[in-house]
């Protein structure tokens, strides 16, 4: 039979343990969901930023609605391009899709995509000798006599497209043998208005440009409307430093109050 002393010893340690557990639980503060939401920066989903392909199918191919690389006397010498404009939101581009056809059998060329930031919203081509701020080299799938869409990932670092800015994209190839047969396909018949998405627009029917000397000089303002699509994601808004400091201060104050409350127990 237990004495009162032993009964006391068998009961109070459990009470002390429960009190310790209670203190332990109260010591770990829960962070409000609103603060977690502000601190976290979720990745944006991939979306179509600019669609200049509406209505262009394999059957729409026409020899009068295309541009080629006929003057590609050396690799990446001929540049065919188009100018587009970004609206009020910044994006990261991740892939480009273009319609290509090879009229002399089939080939698997390397393709190069260069991007220039233009100095104004009225410019329709890069300045002669301008250095692109982004270059992506890709090996192509097999291109044959049927016009097809080919998608090339833009993986050479982040390609950020700033808001309210005009850009030019230039497309080049290393194909020099019978290069006149490699063509960037466009619309037929007629030239439909390109569809825009998420505030990005092409520079209109005169937004095409080209270079026959690797970018030493450019001919802009040409009437080109060839099939391409730009994909990417919206750049997530980053909290202002003052907001982060305020959040950190709130968390620190919460921890301090809980510690003081723990000492008073």
Percentage, residues of the chain above pLDDT 70:
60
Instruction: Rank 38-42, 100-104, 174-178 by mean pLDDT and report only the highest.
Output: 174-178
User: Is the pLDDT assigned to residue 2 strictly greater than 50?
Assistant: no
Residue that wins the pLDDT comparison between 65 and 188: 65
- Predicted local distance difference test score (pLDDT) of residue 259: 57
Percentage, residues of the chain above pLDDT 90:
38
Task: Round to whole Å and give the CA distance between 81 and 184.
Answer: 10
For residue 33, cis peptide bond before it (omega within 30 degrees of 0): no
The position carrying tokens 């018949």 is 189
Task: Round to whole Å and give the CA distance between 247 and 14.
Answer: 39
Residue that wins the pLDDT comparison between 103 and 154: 154
Using an 8 Å Cβ cutoff, are 75 and 176 in contact? yes
Cα–Cα nearest to 49, from 116, 96, 99: 96
Sequence-ordered list of residues with C-beta below 8 angstroms from that of 77, at least 6 positions apart, any chain: 71, 172, 212, 213, 214
Distances in Å between the Cα of 121 and the Cα atoms of 118, 130, 166, 191, 251 are: 7, 17, 5, 23, 45
C-beta atoms surrounding 89 within 10 Å: 16
112-128 mean pLDDT? 94
220-249 mean pLDDT? 68
- Predicted local distance difference test score (pLDDT) of residue 193: 46
Residues in the chain: 265
Indicate the pLDDT class of residue 26, thresholds 50, 70 and 90.
very low
183-207 mean pLDDT? 63
Question: Cα 100 to the chain's mean position, in Å?
Answer: 22
For residue 261, cis peptide bond before it (omega within 30 degrees of 0): no
Indicate the pLDDT class of residue 14, thresholds 50, 70 and 90.
very low
How would you classify the pairing of strands 148-153 and 79-85?
A: unpaired
Using an 8 Å Cβ cutoff, are 218 and 211 in contact? yes
pLDDT digits (tens, 9 = 90+) for 32-82: 544 444 444 445 688 888 777 665 555 555 666 788 999 999 999 999 998
Task: Tokens for 254, please give them.
Answer: 């919460």
124-145 mean pLDDT? 94
Using an 8 Å Cβ cutoff, are 229 and 50 in contact? yes
CATH number of this structure's domain 47-234, picked from the four choices 1.10.150, 3.40.50, 1.10.443, 2.60.120: 2.60.120
- Predicted local distance difference test score (pLDDT) of residue 190: 43
Using an 8 Å Cβ cutoff, are 188 and 62 in contact? yes
- Predicted local distance difference test score (pLDDT) of residue 199: 65
Q: Domain segments of the chain: what residues?
A: 47-234, 241-265
pTM of structure: 0.72
> Helix, strand, or coil here: 8?
helix
To the nearest whole number, what is the mean pLDDT of the chain? Answer: 75
User: Is the pLDDT assigned to residue 93 strictly greater than 80?
Assistant: yes
163-179 mean pLDDT? 94
Task: Round to whole Å and give the CA distance between 134 and 170.
Answer: 10
User: Is the pLDDT assigned to residue 121 strictly greater than 60?
Assistant: yes
DSSP track, 156-183: SS-EEE-TT-EEEEEEEE---TTGGGEE
Task: Round to whole Å and give the CA distance between 140 and 102.
Answer: 12
Using an 8 Å Cβ cutoff, are 81 and 169 in contact? yes
207-222 mean pLDDT? 91
Cα–Cα nearest to 231, from 197, 184, 186, 181: 197
């Amino acid at each position: 039979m237990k004495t009162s002393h032993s009964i006391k010893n068998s009961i109070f340690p459990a009470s002390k343990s429960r009190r310790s557990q209670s203190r332990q639980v109260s010591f770990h503060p829960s962070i409000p969901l609103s603060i977690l939401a502000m601190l976290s920066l979720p990745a944006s989903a991939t979306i179509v930023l600019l669609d200049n392909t509406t209505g262009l199918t394999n059957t729409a191919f026409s020899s009068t609605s295309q541009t080629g690389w006929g003057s590609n006397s050396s690799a990446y010498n001929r540049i065919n391009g188009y100018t587009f404009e970004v609206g009020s939101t910044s994006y990261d581009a991740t892939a480009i899709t273009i319609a290509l056809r090879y009229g002399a059998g089939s080939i698997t060329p390397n393709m190069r995509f260069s991007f220039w930031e233009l100095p104004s919203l009225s410019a329709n081509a890069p300045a002669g000798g301008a250095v692109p701020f982004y270059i992506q080299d890709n090996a192509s799938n097999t291109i044959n006599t049927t016009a097809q869409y080919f998608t090339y990932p833009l993986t050479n670092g982040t390609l950020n497209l700033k808001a309210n800015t005009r850009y030019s994209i230039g497309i080049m190839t290393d194909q020099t043998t019978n290069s006149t047969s490699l063509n960037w396909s466009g619309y037929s018949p007629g030239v439909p208005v390109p569809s825009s998405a998420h505030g990005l627009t092409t520079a209109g029917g005169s937004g095409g440009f080209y270079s026959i000397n690797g970018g030493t000089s450019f001919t802009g303002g040409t009437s080109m409307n060839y099939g391409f699509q730009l994909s990417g994601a919206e750049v997530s808004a980053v909290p202002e430093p003052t907001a982060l400091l305020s959040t950190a201060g709130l968390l620190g104050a919460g921890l301090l109050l809980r510690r003081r409350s723990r000492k008073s127990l």
